[in-house]
Every structure is written in C-alpha cells, then in structure tokens.
Amino acid sequence: MAPRRFGDAVVYQVYPRSFQDSDGDGVGDLGGILARLDHLTWLGVDALWLSPIHPSPNADWGYDIADYDGIAADLGTFEDFDRLVEGCRARGLRLLLDLVPSHTSIAHPWFREHPERYCWHDGPAPPNNWRATFGGPAWSRDPVNGRWYLHSYYPEQPDLDWSRPDVVDAMQAVIRRWRERGADGFRIDACTRIAKDPERRDDPPRTTPSPFNWHPEYGALEHVHSKDGPGIGAALAAVRDAAGDAPLVAEATLPNEQLGRYLEHVDACFAFELQAAAWTAPALNHALGRALALEDGLAWVLGNHDVPRLASRVGPERAAAAAVLLLTLPGPVFVYQGDELGLADGPAPAQPLDRAGRDGARTGIPWQAGAAHAGFTTGEPWLPVAEPPTWAGGTAAEQRSDATSHAALHRDLIALRRELSGPATAVGLGPDTVAFARGDTVVAIRPDGGPVAAPEGELLLRTARGDGIVVRRA
C-alpha cells in the first residue's frame, strides 16, 4: 500500500512524563494529557503524537521498551488510554503513537526467551568498528552467554534483527493491536537502524562535514554500513502492511537525497537538516533549499525531546520568527510541547537523569501561575519544573488570555496556514532574510532579529519585533 501523505497537518508532540500529572505522583500521565486536550484544540492542532507509553526501565526514558503491548504503570492504564482515545476523537484530534521497532530494552523478555531475534556475534572481539549514537562501541558482551550483541544506542537497548521473519511478524502484530486499540498512526523511531549491512563491514572515516549534530565519536564515521542497509525497503513495507492507511512519519536522520527509499512506504520523513541548521540566514536558506528540492514528503520540525528547546537554541527573542518559519511551510508540521509558549530549557536536576544531557528539554509544562509547580503536579515532580524567567512569556493560562502572547501567535499561524496552498518557492529579499512564497503569499523572517523589509501587499501577520511577516501580494 502506497503512502497517502499527511497533508498540512499540525501535530503536537507530547512527552507524557512531562505534560500533566493527574494523580500527584510527580509524573505526567495519560489522565493528565486528557485533562489538557482543550489546550491543543485551542491552538488548533490536528493531531498529537505521544512519546512511548510502554513499560520501560527508563535507561533511555521510554525508548527502551520492555513490553510493546503494555502501558507503563506510572503513566496509566488501558482504561486511561481508551478514555484518551475517546477524548481525542470527540475533539477531532488524531492520535499518533511512537513505534520503536529497531531495538528493545535489554529487560524485554525476548532478550532471554528469544535471543535469536537480536543481532549477535561470536568471537573474541566485536566484528567491526560500529559506534553507538551516544558514543562508545555499538557492541557489548552479554555477561550471561559471553556473546557480543549489537546496540545502536545504549547497551541497555539491544538491536532487533529485522532480517528474521519472526521479528517482522512480531512487530506487525504489535502495530495491528495498537491500531485496533485506537491509534490513528505512528511516528517510527530510529527507523534507519532497522536494516544494516548483512556483511557487517566497518564504517569508513568521515571525510565531509555532517549536516547533523552528532556525538563527536559517532560523527567521526560515515555510517554507510551500520544503518540504512539494503533491507530497509522490505522492513518498511512490512510496517506499512500492518499499519494499513494509518499515517506513518519516519525519524530517518539522513541527508534529504537519501530519503526516497523511505518515502516509498511512509507518509513523511522529518526534515532534520533544517532543525540542525545554524540560526543564520545563509544556513537556513541552504537547508531549506535542499529540503524544498525534495518537493514532497517532509515533516517539518524545529524542536523535540532530543534537543535543547527551541527558545534556548535560537534565543527567546527569536522564537517568534522561528514559529513563523515552521508553521507556514507546506506539509506536516510537528510542534514540541512548550515551544508554543516560548519555553526555554528548564533547570537540570542536581543529579542528572538522562545520560545524554536532555533533562532540560523535558521539564514539566507551566500551566498556571501561583499553583504548586506551576500546576504540573501537586507532588514532587520527577524533573524540576521551570520557573520564571524560563517562561517569562507567561504560563499557558496567562498566554491563552493574551492576544499578543507566543501561544496566541501559534494559534494565529495555525489558523493562517489553512489559507496557504501550493509548494514553497524561494523569494529573494536580501542576504539577511529567509523568504519563500506559497501562491500569492510571501513568508519572510530575519534570523538575526532585525525587521523584515516587507514586500508590497496585505499584511496578514507580523511578529512583535517585526522579524517575521506573512504578506499577501497585491
């Protein structure tokens, strides 16, 4: 079944542990998400994507899954999930789940009961020089059987062997069960790692700069054998077969020209070259030009749970222009929770929880001023909840009642994008400006924060600083 694309949908990413706690244990949960759905409908988004909700030892905070068919006890129950599905449908929201098909937790029963489903090597040393994404070797010795197992991420996340039919069958069954339970679609995590070189050859040294901000040790190699292998098409075809016509969005961290094989089976791939670009006009124009050359199939994203928050990366004073850029591009757009508030990274705990340093991007949402922990929880939060000036623009409640707020800008942009149509074509408005046209409408931003020199026409939207505009040409 061929992909049907995902239109111009706006998808709101929820990191469940950090969105809203409903039972006072300090951890966000499904009940809390349900309680805050009206925030999403106020914004006008079309769908929400949940980062993993399954049981996990949390070596990688949910992305090390110990049971694909369960729900983590601190996030809720199946009854809570069913109520969330009903709440989404009542509001016209589609619900996307995170599918993590490339690896499991080492605590997953399969690792001991079905070790044949994983990637192993027998011998005195690893078979190649492959490196893990977070640094270090991608092979570890299992202390139980003495064999080497492959892990593209942490040692607690052994890779599944997708060349095996039983792995394909098991993952297809997982997809079908969650579809039956009410999932409308899936974001496919780390899908380049599903297929590797069957000969397990060494990755060569990198000779050209990478467009992505990799760990230095990982980035020193060209990953031509440890990922994006020849079996990727068959693997994604199996995922599509199980998902039916459900939207599939792939996390494929590859240069744009290498995404074609993925787009044969999924509705969109994230445009990570744009997310990773420096916040300068030359860098953004370069990344945007490369992306738009693909014409179709990209999902636009500037923030997520893996990188510092957008306001921390580009500066809080430039976050409005970033929103203008993101929310006017053609194709699906993903907004990370808190970015609509201009939220910067929160305080890191005294003892960091995430080994990759991502705690600051995962702190709780400030919902209400004056409430304990800004309304995120009545208990002790699992991560410290941000306080002013991290949310100097105001809490969610304050911003929803302020027509000039960052949240109101997001709402206005989401409404405006319904009026836009057609592809984006570059418009030259000077070396300091990023500008493109969609039909008779011109979008322009100044990454340096200066005011945009507006072309003639009807001004549809302007940021408070004037560093982002949308104009309908006469």
Following DSSP, what letter does each residue of 371-423 receive, concatenated?
SGGGGT-SS--SSPPP-TTTTTT--HHHHHT-TTSHHHHHHHHHHHHTT--S-
pLDDT value of residue 293 = 85
Residue 251 catalytic? yes
pLDDT value of residue 138 = 98
pLDDT value of residue 432 = 95
Residue 387 catalytic? no
In angstroms, the CA 71 to CA 52 distance is: 9
In angstroms, the CA 450 to CA 394 distance is: 24
pLDDT value of residue 207 = 94
- Class of CATH domain 10-102+163-422: alpha beta
Other Cβ atoms closer than 10 A to 345? 21
Q: What is the pLDDT along the chain (474 residues), one digit of tens a residue?
A: 556 567 899 999 999 999 999 999 999 999 999 999 999 999 999 999 999 999 999 999 999 999 999 999 999 999 999 999 999 999 999 999 999 999 999 999 999 999 999 999 999 999 999 999 999 999 999 999 999 999 999 999 999 999 999 999 999 999 999 999 999 999 999 999 999 999 999 999 999 999 899 999 999 999 999 999 999 999 999 999 999 999 999 999 999 999 999 999 999 999 999 999 999 999 999 999 999 888 789 999 999 999 999 999 999 999 999 999 999 999 999 999 999 999 999 988 889 999 999 999 999 999 999 999 999 999 999 999 877 777 778 999 999 999 999 999 999 999 999 999 999 999 988 899 999 999 999 999 999 999 998 888 999 999 999 999 999 987
pTM above 0.95, yes or no: yes
User: Of these residues, 184, 203, 251, 267, which one is catalytic?
Assistant: 251
DSSP labels, 29-89: -HHHHHHTHHHHHHHT-SEEEEPP-S----SSTTSS-S-TT---TTT--HHHHHHHHHHHH
pLDDT value of residue 454 = 83
User: Of these residues, 189, 339, 340, 345, which one is catalytic?
Assistant: 189
In the numeric block, which tokens belong to residue 327? Answer: 């929310």
Sheet with 139-141, strands from edge to edge, namely 120-121, 148-150, 139-141
Sheet with 434-438, strands from edge to edge, namely 425-426, 434-438, 441-445, 468-472, 458-462
In the numeric block, which tokens belong to residue 98? Answer: 């995170």
**Bridge partner list, 141:** 148
